[in-house]
Structure 1
Amino acid sequence: MTVQTLEELYESKFHLIYGYLLKIGCTREDAEDIVQNTFYKAISNMIHLETENPSAWLFKVAINNYYDLCRKQKRHPKVEVKDGFIENLFASVEDGEQVIINKENRAEIQEIVEQLKPVQANMLLLKYEMDLSYEQIANLLNIKVDTVRMTLYRARNQFKKKWSESRERR
């Protein structure tokens, strides 16, 4: 990886990684520090960084740094659900038209998303909050597009199941 390539990666991936960290509950200051530390690691490991997909490596390092920070601070990462996420998610969920989503439901939706497996919650955020395509998610995480599709399918079904259970308890 050359300095120019690293510079291009920084310009193209800084905002994506930073934005994702904010969406999973990282403070602005911590997100900036994590992204800077991630790129510092990339520079210092440049000789040893033999990967086909450096953006996936950067993303994973940043996320792991955030989880390490949460463990050190003895807190749980908290997903922040916005209106766009809610609208996009329910547009893709069967019977979504029947569910009327409003601001009162945001806390309940956020609680349900937090109950999902971290990989499922992260995948839903990448797709419905950050509006990334299957291909972009696959490239970012260095996984197959079919894996993204399957994980999103399972995450949506799990969300729908938990949502229905939540509605039945009311």
Structure 2
Amino acid sequence: MDRQRKNELEQLYEKYAKSLYYFLLKMSGSVHIAEDLVQETFVRATISLSFYKEEDVRAWLFKVARNTYLDEWRKQKRWKTIPFANLFWKDEMLSPYGLPEEDFLTQEVTEDVQTLLKFLPENYRTILYLREYEQFTYLELQEALELSEGQVKILLHRARKRLEEIAKKNGGFQHD
């Protein structure tokens, strides 16, 4: 690997490792798995960097991370509910990449929402996380999830609607 490519990878790692870690932590529910998956994501990115097209780098890395997570999920044959919603607590957000972003710390997520999120299918959790927490644009969602613009809009709509249905079925949200 030439020096320029190595520098590019180091810059990508510095810029995106923390947000990839939190994404993979949300998806896997495990600090250790998330750490391993971040490393595997960058190994795969290194291998495929020569095939990389000039698309949005962030979206491309999240696509690699998502595929890495799905491969691991299939290997482990996890057919149980992934504890996505339980990961909003500050003490569980500590990582080797430093303290969580301030936005995460100040974001208040009610117990009701936490309980409801874990019932969403993986594809709904993924798109909601990328849109709401990583602030992905529709174009970035298209690239990261390999979907058309219409599919992104439909999936987001369905994910939000499903969350609302689950909330109504469980008595709605309780506000203090």
- 1:133 aligned residue: 135
Query: CA separation of 1:140/1:32 partners in 2, compared to 1, >3 Å: closer, same or farther?
Result: farther
User: Relative to 1, partners in 2 of residues 1:26 and 1:61: Cα closer, same or farther, differing over 3 Å?
Assistant: farther
Q: Aligned partners of 2:130, 2:159: CA distance in 1, in Å?
A: 12
SS at match of 1:62: helix
Q: Work out whether residues 138 and 145 of structure 1, in 8 Å CA contact, stay in contact via their aligned partners in 2.
A: yes
Paired amino acid for 1:154? R
Check if 1:80 corresponds to 2:85: yes
TM-superposed deviation, 1:71? 2.4
Q: Which residue, out of 54, 59, 64, partners 1:56?
A: 59
Q: Give the Å deviation of 1:21.
A: 0.9
TM-score (norm 1): 0.66
1:39 aligns with 2:42: yes
Give, in whole Å, the separation in 2 of the partners of 1:58 and 1:43.
Answer: 11
Give the partner amino acid of 2:128. Answer: L
SS at match of 2:55: coil
Q: Do residues 124 (structure 1) and 128 (structure 2) align? A: yes
Residue in structure 1 matching 2:25, options 5, 22, 26: 22
User: Structure 1 residues 33 and 22 mapped into 2: Cα distance closer, same or farther (>3 Å)?
Assistant: same
Is 1:70 aligned with 2:52? no
Q: With structure 2 as the length reference, what TM-score do the two structures score?
A: 0.64
2:126 partner letter:
N
Q: Is the 8 A contact 1:55 1:140 kept in 2?
A: no
Which sections of structure 2, spanning at least 5 residues, go unmatched? Answer: 90-106
AA paired with 2:120?
A: L
Equivalenced residue count is 146
CA distance in 2, matches of 1:119, 1:72: 18
Displacement of 1:140 in angstroms is 6.0
- Distance 1:4-1:124 versus aligned 2 partners, 3 A rule: same
What is the identity percentage for the equivalent residue pairs of Structure 1 and Structure 2? 29
| Distance in 1, Cα, partners of 2:20 & 2:72 | 16
CA distance in 1, matches of 2:32, 2:156: 30
* Residue aligned with 1:11, SS: helix
- Assess, with a 3 A threshold, how the Cα gap between structure 1 residues 85 and 24 changes in structure 2: closer, same or farther: farther
Across the aligned residues of Structure 1 and Structure 2, the Cα RMSD in angstroms comes to: 3.1
State the alpha-carbon separation in 2 of the partners of residues 46 and 28 from structure 1. Answer: 26
Decide whether aligned partners of structure 1 residues 116 and 78 sit closer, same or farther in structure 2, where only a CA change above 3 A counts. same
Q: Distance in 2 between matches of 1:125 and 1:47?
A: 29
